[in-house]
Structure 1
Amino acid sequence: MSWVPLHVHSQFSILDSTASVKKLAERAAELGLPALALTDQGNLHGAVDFFKACQAVSVKPIIGCELYVAPISRHEKKRIGGQKAGYPIVLLVKDAKGYRNLCKLSSQAYLEGFYYTPRIDKDLLKEHAEGLICLSGPMRGKIAELIMSEEEEELQSELAFFQELFGEDFYLELTRHRMSEEQMRSDRMDRESWLMQASFDFQEKQEKVLRRLVEISKEKGILTVATNDSRYLKRDDWQAQEILMNVSSGEPVEIWERDAQGNPKMRVLNPKRKVQMTHELYFKSPEEMSLLFTDYPEAVAETVRVAEKCEFALDFSSKFYPVFIPPHLEGTKFTPKEREIAAEGFLKKLCEEGIQKRYDQHALAKIAEKYPDKEPMQVVRERLHYEMDLITSKGLGDYLLIVYDFIAWAKGQGIPVGPGRGSGAGSIICFLTGITDIEPLRFNLFFERFINPERVSYPDIDVDICMHRRSEVI
């Protein structure tokens, strides 16, 4: 039976996974998986690398994210009634609209909802649910917790919310991380008797949640999917994963036990360290998942059908740069061509205004010293026309205008901006628009270091912004 991992973490789940996106893709290809999802915690940092890695080994990539939903509002930055700061759900991208929505959710989770972890809330999710598939979440999720606490009324309310919002794109996530006593002893979990018991208790809770989810599936017609919430590549990697968890918490795995005089006696396990209740969070094969879910084979098979719904592909064939909307066009309807013409005209207008502001008699006198055989203003005009022709022919006007826009905003807010650095200081257009404050003719700076007819790649403008207020500009 085939299976698609729909809940997978990589090293981009910061300090919570040891698996690289490249190794995950390669392992998926080794196992003959038709597709693979990446669902890192709160972010899409690994999406591009993951997509390319999957394409390289002919595995269908599915972009997703494990997002945390605040119990009430993402704006509420305090614990409420003993609840967690947020409860995880898994979102998978179906199409381009879904990708844009997931990007928005992830961004807002950091910008507006961050509290221990990036968080969204149900209001934000309702605004950006289109094009997304939702899995109910792992054992840490709200639905699993409500099952454990047997809060049936709230459980039904939670299920109704997600079923109404996502319809047939809402799935109940079944997880099962079984460890035998023999496996526990092999992994030396018996060094601490409480740990073995805690692991058995965890498995019992997991089975209780799983059985109730299957009941709910039958009652409400919500399909189930089998996932493994994987954090590492191979089973033996659990030790590295545990060390990583303690890097996150800052606790050493072992500490010195000391005698009555305070002298170090022997190394012992740190009782404050983080431990895993299971060592089964590795990237499993379809065969392993089928054996694990022999009683629920439909949950394994359904993962393939979920993967078939996901048709989004990142487009690397073109570059998608932002365009500049001139102030007089804001709030109006216009064609792409009208905007392009208006933006070019706006850039020329800025340059003309810049000539009046920047080139007083003193500045022109300095140019005359450098170019004694020409009228100073003629030198300025010739350089401006040369640069403008090259910039417009290469379609770089929008690029310069966007840089002009955020620098002008920063200066308007009283945020210090550097005078110019790098090749951009050689452009008279950068000088005239206020991007730089270095007059290139006086210092004999070459525009061709910035842009030239043979250069294929985009030019770069180095901008120095006051470190204390840089985030405002970003």
Structure 2
Amino acid sequence: MSQNFVHLRVRSEYSLIDSIVRLKDLTSRVASDSMPSVALTDFNNLFGLVKFYKLARSSGLKPIMGADVLIKYSNSKKPTNMTLLIKNEIGYRNLTKLISDAYLSKHTNAVPVIDFSWLKTLNTGLIALSGGREGEIGRLLSVNKDEEAKEILKINQDLFDDRFYLEIQRTGRTGEESFIQKALNLSDKFDCPLVATNDVRFISQKEFEAHEARVCIHDSRLLNDPRRERQYSEEQYLRSASEMIDLFKDIPEAIDNTLEIAKRCNLQISLGDNYLPDYPIPDGLSADDFLTKQAIKGLEQKYHALNSMNIKHHHLNKDTVLTYKDRLNYELKVVIKMGFSGYF
């Protein structure tokens, strides 16, 4: 049995809808508990990635980056949860592309959703966790559509190969144990590895009420509203490694796999470097040459436009034209010297 554990599903303050985890508190607590690594999986965004990366590294932790996303399958009416973890730079680029496309294709005021078909070309470098009860497999199992759940499992295994994991949780929410038993059966039958998460939304158990207040603010509901759906439990705190190991002592492989996944995630971020757009340039020209050519062409077009308007205050004499050309040449030299031609 493993003597350690890695949290692979943690939302932070950058998930405005339902988390109060501060990144500094997260990395500090994980380091103090001697866990080797921790993942940041905010909802539909990577806003906290750089800050988290810096804090984790400075705390002696291996940072794992990813996101909780909504996936829409072709035969499903509603999207369901999946967690995507970044293995390497290719995975990072693919996840940013997936999230960007989800935002660009969403309807007004709708939640961004990733179409499962997009993953066919953008799954490289990513590890997928099934989403537990809130994933598509969990949803189907909860309504006794076991055969359909098997089909979803199979298409994910075909797509991700050994990078797809059945996610299980024990946070005291309805239906968890029933789902775990079915997940165990699927794991055995389809040789699909299990992984344990705690779906973390706050650092300590005593912060549950503050978290509920955060959720109510987002949903415009009152804490004591009897009609309010209780989606979270006070067990969704950052449990210690020993607590998680004890919680899943009957399924030790689900703990072991958190460490295996952590080993597979090795994204290195280069900080402080500028990455300018790779603008398409005609053959035979450098970025500097092309910028200069386009700038001069644009200035000449301005001359003709102003002269054709025949506006008194914009009449261009030779001295004015020379002044504009000198200014343009000066600004071009500055841009070229800074190496920013591709940006402009």
TM-score (norm 2): 0.90
Q: Percent identity?
A: 31
Which residue identity does 2:127 align to in structure 1?
A: I
Alignment map for 1:89-100 (pairs within 5 Å)? 89-100=82-93
Aligned twin of 1:124: 118
CA contact (8 A) 2:9 2:40 kept: yes
Q: Does 1:174 align with 2:168?
A: yes
CA contact (8 A) 2:64 2:86 kept: yes
Structure 1 residues 136-171: Cα deviation after superposition (integer angstroms, max 9, x where no partner): 112211111222222121011011011111111111
User: How far apart in 2 are the matches of 1:364 and 1:146?
Assistant: 70
Structure 1 residues 342-388: Cα deviation after superposition (integer angstroms, max 9, x where no partner): 332222223333443334676787788xxxxxx44443343333332
Q: How far did residue 276 of structure 1 move?
A: 4.4
Could you say what secondary structure the match of 2:94 adopts?
A: helix
Q: How far did residue 237 of structure 1 move?
A: 0.8
Aligned twin of 1:217: 187
User: How far apart in 2 are the matches of 1:64 and 1:55?
Assistant: 16
Could you say what secondary structure the match of 2:127 adopts?
A: strand
Q: 1:367 to 1:48 in 2, by over 3 A?
A: farther
Structure 1 residues 7-41: Cα deviation after superposition (integer angstroms, max 9, x where no partner): 11111222211112222112111111111111111
The structure, 1 or 2, with the larger RCO (C-alpha pairs under 8 Å, 6+ apart) is 2
Q: 1:387 to 1:122 in 2, by over 3 A?
A: closer
Alignment map for 1:102-121 (pairs within 5 Å)? 102-113=95-106, 116-121=110-115
State which structure, 1 or 2, has the greater radius of gyration over its C-alpha atoms. 1
CA contact (8 A) 1:246 1:274 kept: no
User: How far apart in 1 are the matches of 2:136 and 2:315?
Assistant: 73
Aligned twin of 1:55: 57
Aligned twin of 2:336: 392
Aligned twin of 1:447: none
Q: 1:207 to 1:388 in 2, by over 3 A?
A: same
Aligned twin of 1:282: 237
Could you say what secondary structure the match of 1:322 adopts?
A: coil
Aligned twin of 2:39: 37
Which residue identity does 1:389 align to in structure 2?
A: K
User: How far apart in 2 are the matches of 1:134 and 1:351?
Assistant: 47
Which residue identity does 1:295 align to in structure 2?
A: D
Aligned twin of 1:137: 131
Structure 1 residues 165-220: Cα deviation after superposition (integer angstroms, max 9, x where no partner): 11111111111124xxxxxxxxxxxxxxxxxxxx6xx1xx2111111111221222
Aligned twin of 1:25: 27
Aligned twin of 2:201: 231
Q: How far did residue 241 of structure 1 move?
A: 1.1
Could you say what secondary structure the match of 2:343 adopts?
A: helix
Deviates more, 1:62-71 or 1:316-325: 316-325
User: How far apart in 2 are the matches of 1:277 and 1:20?
Assistant: 18
Q: How far did residue 110 of structure 1 move?
A: 1.4
User: How far apart in 1 are the matches of 2:343 and 2:333?
Assistant: 15
Q: How far did residue 306 of structure 1 move?
A: 0.6
User: How far apart in 2 are the matches of 1:297 and 1:223?
Assistant: 12
Could you say what secondary structure the match of 1:271 adopts?
A: coil
Could you say what secondary structure the match of 1:171 adopts?
A: strand
Q: Does 1:88 align with 2:81?
A: yes
User: How far apart in 2 are the matches of 1:40 and 1:244?
Assistant: 16
Aligned twin of 1:206: 176
In structure 1, list runs of 5 or more residues that go unmatched: 74-79, 179-198, 254-268, 330-337, 369-374, 401-474
Could you say what secondary structure the match of 1:91 adopts?
A: strand
Which residue identity does 2:189 align to in structure 1?
A: E
Q: How far did residue 285 of structure 1 move?
A: 0.8
Structure 1 residues 257-305: Cα deviation after superposition (integer angstroms, max 9, x where no partner): xxxxxxxxxxxx3212343452100111100001101111121111011
Which residue identity does 1:128 align to in structure 2?
A: L
Of 8, 11, 14 in structure 1, the residue corresponding to residue 13 of structure 2 is 11
Q: 1:344 to 1:174 in 2, by over 3 A?
A: same
Aligned twin of 2:150: 156
In structure 2, list runs of 5 or more residues that go unmatched: none
User: How far apart in 2 are the matches of 1:379 and 1:113?
Assistant: 49
Q: Does 1:252 align with 2:245?
A: no
Size of the alignment, in residue pairs? 335
CA contact (8 A) 2:132 2:166 kept: no
User: How far apart in 1 are the matches of 2:110 and 2:298?
Assistant: 48
Q: 1:151 to 1:87 in 2, by over 3 A?
A: same
Structure 1 residues 224-244: Cα deviation after superposition (integer angstroms, max 9, x where no partner): 111101111110111011111
Could you say what secondary structure the match of 2:259 adopts?
A: helix
Q: CA RMSD in A?
A: 2.2
User: How far apart in 1 are the matches of 2:121 and 2:41?
Assistant: 21
Could you say what secondary structure the match of 1:25 adopts?
A: helix
User: How far apart in 2 are the matches of 1:302 and 1:355?
Assistant: 62
Of 302, 309, 315 in structure 2, the residue corresponding to residue 358 of structure 1 is 302
Q: How far did residue 96 of structure 1 move?
A: 0.8
Which residue identity does 1:390 align to in structure 2?
A: V
CA contact (8 A) 1:105 1:128 kept: yes
